[in-house]
C-alpha cells in the first residue's frame, strides 16, 4: 500500500485507540469517513487521476476504507462493553444495608387512622378464618337496603334506621344512603355461587348525631353460606373473633335472643365488662356489641339461593364501637375531626402493619 495511505491508517488507528467513549469514537469516524473526511476526500480525488493509476489507487483506498470500518466497529463494541461495566459498577445496590435508622417522624410521617387500623385487623383476623372481603355502594336502592332483607314497606325497622333519602328517578323509589352493610349480603349472594364466606367493612349512614352516634359511621358485615352451616359455626366464629380482636383469651361472650327481620333466629352478642371501670373481660356486667343470626330463608330466596339446599349465618357490628372499646376512646366525634393531637395519640404507625402475631 502507498506510504501516504499507511500513514493515514496509522493516524486514524491512533485516534481510535485514544477515543475513550462512543462520542469520541464517532468524531474519529466522521473525520475519516464522513462527508468531508480524509478517506472520503481520497475517494473523491480518484477522478482526477489518469485511468491506469486510478484503478490501482482506487483498490488501495477501498481496502483502507474497509479496514477502518472494521476497526471502528471493533472499537465500538469494546467501548459499549466498557460503558456497561461502568454502569453496573455505578448502579450497584447493597440490599444488605440496614434500613434508615430513624423513620420520618411527626406530621410528615403520616399515620393509620384507628378506623382503618380496625379494618386491617378485621380483614386479617377473618382472613385467617377463610373470609374474603366484599364491597358494595354507599348509595343503595330501596330493594337492596330494605325489601330484599325482608324489611317490607311500613315495617318499623324502616323508621328505626333514620334513613337519608335521595331524590327518586322518575317513577322509581328513592335511593338511600345505605343504613347498614347488610345490602351487601344480597349483592354477594346474587353475584357469587355458594358456598360463601365474606366480610364487608364499609361506610354506613343514619340521621343521628351525638357523642356515640355519627351520621356517617362504619360497620362490618359477615356472611357465611354453606350446605350445613349452623348456629355452632356462628357462635364459634364470633367467640374466636371477639377474643382475638380484644386480646382477651377468656373474654366472656353471651348470645341473647333478639329480632332482626333478615335473620331467624336472631341473637345479639354481649361481652363481659365492668360498667364502673370500663374494663373489658371482668366485672360481671354485659355490653351489647353486635347483631347476628341465621340468614332468613326469605332473604336467601330473595337473593336467588334455594333455602332448601343452603343455609348460613350473618352478623353486623359497628367499627367505631369496637374501636372505642378496644382503645378506651370515650367520644365518637373526634374520629372525624382530623384533630392532629387526637390522631397522634390514637393513630398507629404505617411502619407497623397489623399481623396475626398482634392478636391473642
Ligand atoms: N344490619 C344490622 C344492623 O345494622 C346488624 C345485623 C347484621 C344483624 C347481620 C344480624 C345480621 O343493626
315 lines ligand 1 (CB under 6 A): yes
Q: How far is CA 85 from the centre of its chain?
A: 38
| pLDDT > 60? residue 360 | no
In this prediction, residue 103 carries a pLDDT of: 61
What residues contact 90, with CB distance under 8 A and at least 6 apart? none
| pLDDT > 90? residue 16 | yes
Which of the four pLDDT bands, split at 50, 70 and 90, describes residue 125? very high
Tell me if the bond preceding 195 is cis, omega within 30° of 0: yes
What residues contact 278, with CB distance under 8 A and at least 6 apart? 328
182 lines ligand 1 (CB under 6 A): yes
Greatest pairwise CA separation for the chain in angstroms: 121
**Could you report the per-residue pLDDT of 89-122, keeping only the tens digit for each?**
999 888 888 766 566 666 567 889 999 999 999 9
What cell does 182 get?
347488610
Distance 263 CA to ligand 1 centre (A): 9
Site to probe by mutation for ligand 1, drawn from 157, 182, 294 as the one with most ligand atoms within 8 Å of Cβ, is 182
In this prediction, residue 29 carries a pLDDT of: 95
Percent of the chain with pLDDT over 70: 96
Looking at the CA of residue 219, tell me the nearest atom of ligand 1.
Answer: 4
Distance 301 CA to ligand 1 centre (A): 18
Site to probe by mutation for ligand 1, drawn from 180, 313, 317 as the one with most ligand atoms within 8 Å of Cβ, is 180
Amino acid at each position: 500500500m502507498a506510504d501516504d495511505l499507511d500513514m493515514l491508517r496509522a493516524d486514524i488507528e491512533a485516534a481510535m485507540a485514544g477515543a475513550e467513549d462512543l462520542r469520541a469514537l464517532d468524531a474519529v469516524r466522521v473525520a475519516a469517513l464522513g462527508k468531508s473526511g480524509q478517506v472520503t476526500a481520497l475517494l473523491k480525488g480518484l477522478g482526477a487521476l489518469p485511468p491506469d493509476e486510478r484503478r490501482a489507487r482506487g483498490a488501495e483506498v477501498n481496502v483502507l476504507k474497509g479496514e477502518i470500518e472494521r476497526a471502528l466497529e471493533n472499537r465500538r463494541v469494546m467501548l459499549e462493553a466498557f460503558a456497561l461495566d461502568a454502569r453496573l459498577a455505578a448502579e450497584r445496590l447493597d440490599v444488605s444495608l440496614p434500613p434508615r435508622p430513624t423513620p420520618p417522624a411527626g406530621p410528615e410521617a403520616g399515620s393509620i387512622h384507628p378506623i382503618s387500623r380496625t379494618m386491617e385487623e378485621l380483614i386479617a383476623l377473618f382472613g385467617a378464618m377463610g373470609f374474603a372481603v366484599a364491597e358494595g355502594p354507599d348509595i343503595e336502592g330501596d330493594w337492596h337496603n330494605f325489601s330484599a332483607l325482608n324489611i317490607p314497606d311500613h315495617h318499623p325497622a324502616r323508621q328505626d334506621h333514620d334513613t337519608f333519602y335521595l331524590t327518586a328517578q322518575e317513577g322509581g323509589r328513592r335511593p338511600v344512603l345505605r343504613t347498614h352493610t347488610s345490602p351487601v349480603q344480597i349483592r354477594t349472594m346474587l353475584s357469587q355461587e355458594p358456598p360463601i364466606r365474606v366480610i364487608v367493612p364499609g361506610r354506613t349512614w343514619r340521621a343521628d348525631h351525638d357523642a356515640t352516634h355519627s351520621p356517617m359511621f362504619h360497620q362490618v358485615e359477615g356472611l357465611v353460606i354453606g350446605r350445613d352451616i349452623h348456629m355452632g359455626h356462628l357462635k364459634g366464629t364470633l367467640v374466636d373473633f371477639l377474643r382475638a380482636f380484644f386480646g382477651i383469651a377468656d373474654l366472656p361472650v353471651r348470645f341473647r335472643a333478639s329480632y332482626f327481620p333478615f335473620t331467624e333466629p336472631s341473637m345479639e352478642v354481649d361481652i363481659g365488662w365492668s360498667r364502673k371501670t370500663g374494663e373489658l373481660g371482668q366485672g360481671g356486667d354485659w355490653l351489647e356489641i353486635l347483631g347476628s343470626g341465621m340468614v332468613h330463608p326469605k332473604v336467601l330466596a330473595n337473593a336467588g339461593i334455594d333455602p332448601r339446599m343452603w343455609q348460613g349465618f350473618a352478623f353486623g357490628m359497628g367499627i367505631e364501637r369496637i374501636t372505642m372499646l378496644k382503645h378506651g376512646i370515650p367520644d365518637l366525634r373526634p374520629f372525624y375531626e382530623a384533630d392532629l393531637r387526637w390522631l397522634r395519640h390514637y393513630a398507629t404507625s404505617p411502619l407497623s402493619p397489623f399481623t396475626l402475631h398482634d392478636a391473642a
